[in-house]
Amino acid sequence: MIERSTLRVCADRLTFARLLVALIGAALLFTHQADARTHSRMAKTDSSIVLDAETGQVLSEHNADAKGYPASLTKMMTLYLVFDALERGDVTLDQPLRVSRRAAHQAPSKLGLHEGQVVLLRDLILGLITRSANDAAVVVAEALAGSEQAFAERMTAKARELGMASTTYRNASGLPNPGQITTARDLAELARALYRDFPKEYAYFATEEFTYNGATYVNHNHLMRSFEGMDGIKTGYIRASGFNLAASAVRSARRLVGVVMGGQSAHTRDLEMAQLLNDGFGGTGAAPVVVAAQSDDEGDNTLANRAGRTIAAFSPVGRAEAAPSRHLRAAQLRRGVAERWSIQVGAFGEEDAAAKAGRAALAKLHGRTGKAVQVLAPDQTDKEPLYRARILSFSEREADKACRALHRKHLQCAVVAPNAVQQAAAN
């Protein structure tokens, strides 16, 4: 017979073992929840990846194999097949293509093509890149394969050739279709392939503006003019996908490719892409401008709120510079001080890059007589030296109007108050 003391010892050991298991489980759960909370604070998109364009080395990734809808990133493959046809001599840039009834009735965004209209392939390519035109996508699909369905089958076959095992295409535009899926990893490989296989045609992705039939279309990739080294590739959005972006940038002869999918807004998507790419470059030397402004129809559009949205996230320029207090403005009026506002168009790691950005922005402004570009030396509070490009000599209303004009052209800027200008000049 087993003694009671022996039974008591066994029971105590069992209780201790159960307690230990419970404690370990609780600790693991707490760690998992803490990691999840930490990641949720860092990532604002569903999935992302950054890789070296030459070697394919993955520099960072988050849910890169999660399947999602490509939206207009679909047009990257549409253009890959168009570029391939150009290189093989099947079509020419000046070749006229006829618009079908089906193409003309595609949902926006579009060029507004009409049934029976004839359009040059060159214009269709530029419309795909700058306007993300769905009607243009169907025109080229039908011209190259006879029908959009046949073209989509070619797209999927090419995806397999490129190693995009998780991608299936159902149309040439990226308009909603439950069977049209991809991953961030696959899209990054496609972006690499576009640059590798068509280095000449890849330059189209750097097109800033395109004028067709009296209308001017501006590239939807806002980071093209606000991230140093950015030269493509494509944005995309449908409600089911969220805000997507494939981007490529080169610094010091090194090219990186990044993809983010499922952003909550164009603003957060752009900010995350800029952060990921800058980290991939090592986060040194050439800091991003990263203003990634929302469009004028999003949210409160007062000067203070718009300026707060457009201030560079990685720049030490603060909200106080963009939205001065009422007390400051009242004091200026009492003293009769002339308002000398400015607009900031970027913060760069190199002085020449800042000067170039300032001149480019000034050239886009009407009524620029008397305005001047100033590049401010790095501030002592900078974690990394940043040269700020500003355009000087505005009244408050002029500065606000100038920033609105630049935003419409997807040139990013922030309104800077007189006190900030005077303090910077005194440093």
165's tokens: 């095992």
| Region of poorest pLDDT, from 25-29, 45-49, 181-185 | 25-29
The catalytic residue among 48, 109, 132, 248 is 132
Greater pLDDT, 369 or 11 = 369
CA proximity to 279, closest of 51, 3, 65, 113:
51
- Per the CB < 8 A criterion, the answer to whether 313 and 294 are in contact is no
Q: How high is the pLDDT of residue 316?
A: 28
Mean pLDDT of 98-112: 96
Greater pLDDT, 247 or 402 = 247
- If phi over 0 gives left and psi between -120 and 50 gives alpha, with beta otherwise, what is residue 33? alpha
Burial of 19 (C-beta count, 10 Å sphere; 0-12/13-18/19+): exposed
Report CA 23 to chain centroid distance, whole Å: 44
Active site residue 47: no
Q: How high is the pLDDT of residue 406?
A: 80
pTM assigned to the model: 0.63
Alpha-carbon span 43 to 29, nearest angstrom:
21
Q: How high is the pLDDT of residue 383?
A: 65
pLDDT class for 355, splitting at 50, 70, 90?
confident
Active site residue 364: no
Q: How high is the pLDDT of residue 130?
A: 92
| Region of poorest pLDDT, from 13-27, 168-182, 295-309 | 295-309
DSSP letter at 106?
A: P
Q: How high is the pLDDT of residue 295?
A: 35
* Chain segment 57-70, per-residue pLDDT in tens: 999 999 999 999 99
pLDDT class for 108, splitting at 50, 70, 90?
very high
pLDDT class for 419, splitting at 50, 70, 90?
low
Does residue 22 have a pLDDT over 80? no
Q: How high is the pLDDT of residue 236?
A: 94
Share above pLDDT 70 across residues of the chain, in percent, rounded to a whole number:
72
Q: How high is the pLDDT of residue 64?
A: 97
Does residue 37 have a pLDDT over 50? no
Q: How high is the pLDDT of residue 299?
A: 32
Q: How high is the pLDDT of residue 208?
A: 81
* Chain segment 271-320, per-residue pLDDT in tens: 899 999 999 998 643 444 443 333 322 333 333 333 333 333 333 222 22
CA proximity to 317, closest of 290, 272, 347:
347
Greater pLDDT, 248 or 284 = 248
Q: How high is the pLDDT of residue 364?
A: 85
- Where are the extended beta strands (E) located within 264-354? 341-348
185's tokens: 């990893």
Mean pLDDT of 318-345: 47
The catalytic residue among 75, 110, 158, 234 is 75
Does residue 34 have a pLDDT over 50? no
* Chain segment 84-99, per-residue pLDDT in tens: 999 999 999 999 999 9
Average model confidence (pLDDT) across the chain = 78
Active site residue 72: yes
The catalytic residue among 47, 48, 72, 342 is 72
Q: How high is the pLDDT of residue 53?
A: 95
DSSP letter at 37?
A: H
Does residue 183 have a pLDDT over 80? yes
If one counts every other C-beta atom within 10 angstroms of the C-beta of residue 37, the result is 10
Ranges 3-12, 35-44, 204-213, most confident = 204-213
Q: How high is the pLDDT of residue 369?
A: 78
Does residue 56 have a pLDDT over 60? yes
- List all residues 6 or more positions away from 201 whose beta carbon is below 8 Å from its beta carbon: 79, 83, 86, 87
